[in-house]
Structure 1
Amino acid sequence: MTSELLERALVEEATKKSGLIWVRGAGAPAARALWHVWHEGAACVVGDGPGEQPLPGLADGATAEITVRSKDKGGRLVAWSAKAVELAPGSEAWEAAVAELKGKRLNAPDGEAMPGRWARECRVLRLEPTGATSDLPDGSLAEAPLPTPATTRQPIPAALPRLLLKKRRAKR
């Protein structure tokens, strides 16, 4: 019983303090980083709408594996199992979760109209711990990035070194 309480406390504290959790829903090929809030004993997430995070493999009643990272070092702290519960828009539980989520949502395009958009176009889920924690793997779980046409590596402009040297000479 004591170890169960300690595991539950570890899950709650680690998840509360972490800004991101890695969630792998049933049938999802890989875990995704999701922003969340801890509210009334569960991690609450919003997504699957325009401009919001995708929630692949997370359906009402489905199970998910959550890995929580350390906020300061970024290493894995705990992995736990959860049951996803979709909250009905306008319900008391939905209103309470959205009030918490709204305060943590960064760079929202619609400000105060955000809860209405979430009710119309998104899903709000509670990821409720089932009580089972998993052993953390020994090796890295790093995966190759998904293919994308985006690029960050390009040759620097030929004049850039001269421009940088001029600024350094001017400061002396």
Structure 2
Amino acid sequence: MTADSPASGSPTADTLLDRALVEEATKKSGLVWVRGQDVPSCALWHVWHEGAACVVGDGPGEQPLPGLADGGPAVVTVRSKDKGGRLVSWAANVVELAPGSPAWEAAVGELKGKRLNAPDGEEMPARWARECRVLRLEPTGSTLPLPDGDLAQAPVATPATTRQPIPAGVPRLLFGRRKRK
């Protein structure tokens, strides 16, 4: 048995590399795909704070957090910020932060700075405390294999149709021909 073996209690080199990959990739990506229990993956904006991805949602005007329950599992897939391809997937434990707790205050301080187009500005943390959930997605350990295939969901059935191209003569009818002088 070596000093780096799991039986000795210290992390292996592969585990440390996995942790570093998860942290760096998640920090740099502004968007992650998260799959909760029995629901498809959804895109969530987040911030990396104190070793976990923090998200806010489930309130009016905020992102939905389907299938993410306190103490439950989740799978996080991180995309490349520049190319959009999948970089790494990792398992997470979902921890809901209690409003007003020191951990909640610290996470909200980070999230507040990254929230774009907030309707209420400085009142946002109070609204989040009343109406939203703040979750920490804490990595459980090593990375997971990247999912195969397309993870996109089929569009919802609708009677709406795609607009057909306009006939070639319509612009001339609407705008007329320019008269030569």
Same fold at TM > 0.5: yes
The TM-score with structure 1 as length reference comes to 0.87
Amino-acid identity (%): 75
Shift in Å at residue 147 of structure 1? 3.5
- After superposition, what is the alpha-carbon deviation per residue over 1:23-47, rounded to whole angstroms, capped at 9, x for unaligned? 001122x100000000000000000
The residue number in structure 1 matching 2:3 is: none
- After superposition, what is the alpha-carbon deviation per residue over 1:39-93, rounded to whole angstroms, capped at 9, x for unaligned? 0000000001111111111111000000001111111000000000000000110
Aligned CA-pair RMSD: 2.2
Q: Find runs of 4+ consecutive structure 1 residues off by over 6 angstroms.
A: 157-160, 163-166
Structure 2 residue 35 is matched with structure 1 residue 21: no
Structure 2 residue 154 is matched with structure 1 residue 154: no
Point out where structure 1 has 5 or more consecutive residues left out of the alignment: none
The TM-score with structure 2 as length reference comes to 0.83
The DSSP-based 3-state class of the residue aligned with 1:50 is coil
2 CA distance for matches of 1:124 and 1:148? 33
The one-letter code sitting in structure 1 at the alignment partner of 2:33 is W
2 CA distance for matches of 1:4 and 1:44? 22
- After superposition, what is the alpha-carbon deviation per residue over 1:136-158, rounded to whole angstroms, capped at 9, x for unaligned? 1342223312345776x324666
The residue number in structure 2 matching 1:6 is: 17
The one-letter code sitting in structure 2 at the alignment partner of 1:100 is E
Point out where structure 2 has 5 or more consecutive residues left out of the alignment: 1-11
2 CA distance for matches of 1:76 and 1:165? 50
